[in-house]
Amino acid sequence: MSTVTRLDYCQFLLVSQTNYTLTYFADQRPGFSQDAVKRYLEEEKLTARMVWENVKGQVVRTGQGYLAFDDTVLDHNTAFKIELVRRQYSGTTHGVIKGIGVVTCVYINPETNQFWIIDYRIYDPQRDGKSKLDHVREMLDHALHDKQLPFRGVLMDTWYAERKLMLPIERLNKVYYCPLKDNRQVDASADQSGYQRVDSLSWTETEAQHGKWVHVKDFPAGHQVKLFRLVLSTQRTDFIATNDVAQDSTQDTQEVCALR
């Protein structure tokens, strides 16, 4: 039997579209036994640092770049003994499943229409005590200080539209775009006298085109973000918050958000 190498396994992951199990890998490669594949997976460590070392020479840097943060759940609903598997919400299935949570960081160059995964973290709060927000903060700091990547903004999902992440991004003089949940409490009045759900806001024709300034509940007094209402279909309307004061068009906002 042959020895499994990193190249063998990475090629298998690239080619296989639905099944990534070691048994399937061994079945597709007669020269590898299931025990050999198992030993390789137990001994090999594919770290986030290795991802960056392999991709950094390919990245086309630009001051107009974006960092996109997202997360996914690798479905292991039939698993019972895999250490990293835990019950968590999956956006793919729109429900709670058993799986391994992964938080990713992608660098986007809008000038060349290219993107590269540059970092990732395994979501395992029982072992390291870190939330998904903690992982994003860590990867943001690494991109800025360790990798020294130039970028103007951050794109992130609803889960990360929180004060402990949005305010630090502002302090870095970077812009962000993130959708707010429909039930998020905001105040669009000048004196911040009353909060209401985002999806219950009224919109003038001007606000529908150019956005409206709102205060998000639990943010510092006087702090505002610009909110855009994007009607994507008859079944879906997104509300995008940004601190980009130059942003003045729902079409431009939708194009920016499409980068992620």
Which tens digit of pLDDT belongs to each residue from 122-163? 888 888 899 999 999 999 999 999 999 999 999 999 989 999
Six token digits for residue 135: 């992982």
Q: Residue 26: CB partners within 8 Å, gap ≥ 6?
A: 32, 33, 34, 36, 37
**Confidence at 50, pLDDT banded by 50, 70, 90:** confident
- 126 and 193 share one domain: no
Q: Residue 247: what pLDDT?
A: 82
Residue 5 lies in a domain: yes
Average pLDDT, the chain: 86
Residue 167 lies in a domain: no
* Mean pLDDT within 185-204: 87
pLDDT in tens, 61-120: 999 999 999 987 766 666 666 666 667 666 666 777 677 778 999 999 999 999 999 999
Inter-axis angle of helices 132-141 and 163-171, to 10 degrees?
10
Q: Are 148 and 140 in contact (CB under 8 A)?
A: no
Residue 101 lies in a domain: yes
- 146 and 51 share one domain: yes
Residue 235 lies in a domain: yes
* Mean pLDDT within 11-36: 80
- 102 and 16 share one domain: no
* E strand or H helix at 135: helix 132-141
More confidently predicted of 32 and 1 = 32
* Mean pLDDT within 154-174: 94
Among 120, 151, 182, which residue terminates a domain? Answer: 151
- 4 and 18 share one domain: yes
Q: 3-state class of 7 per DSSP?
A: helix
Q: How far apart are CA 80 and CA 217, in angstroms?
A: 41
pLDDT at residue 1 greater than cutoff 60: no
Q: Residue 260: what pLDDT?
A: 64
pLDDT at residue 201 greater than cutoff 60: yes
Q: Could you list the residue range(s) of the whole structural domain that residue 16 is in?
A: 1-44
Q: How far apart are CA 29 and CA 11, in angstroms?
A: 12
How many structural domains is the chain composed of? 3
- 51 and 143 share one domain: yes
Q: Residue 78: what pLDDT?
A: 66
* Mean pLDDT within 178-188: 95
* Mean pLDDT within 14-42: 79
- 63 and 118 share one domain: yes
Q: Residue 204: what pLDDT?
A: 93
- 36 and 51 share one domain: no
User: Which long-range CB contacts under 8 A does 174-179 form with residues at least 24 apart?
Assistant: 175/242, 175/243, 175/244, 175/247, 176/241, 176/242, 176/243, 176/244, 177/153, 177/240, 177/241, 177/242, 177/244, 177/253, 177/256, 177/257, 178/240, 178/241, 178/242, 179/238, 179/239, 179/240, 179/241, 179/257
Terminal-residue alpha carbon distance, the chain: 43
Q: Report the percentage of the chain scoring pLDDT > 90.
A: 50
* Mean pLDDT within 226-245: 90
pLDDT at residue 254 greater than cutoff 80: no
Q: 3-state class of 129 per DSSP?
A: coil
Among 44, 64, 79, which residue terminates a domain? Answer: 44
Q: 3-state class of 5 per DSSP?
A: coil
Closest listed residue to residue 192, CA positions, set 169, 213, 215 = 215
Q: Residue 139: what pLDDT?
A: 96
Residue 162 lies in a domain: no
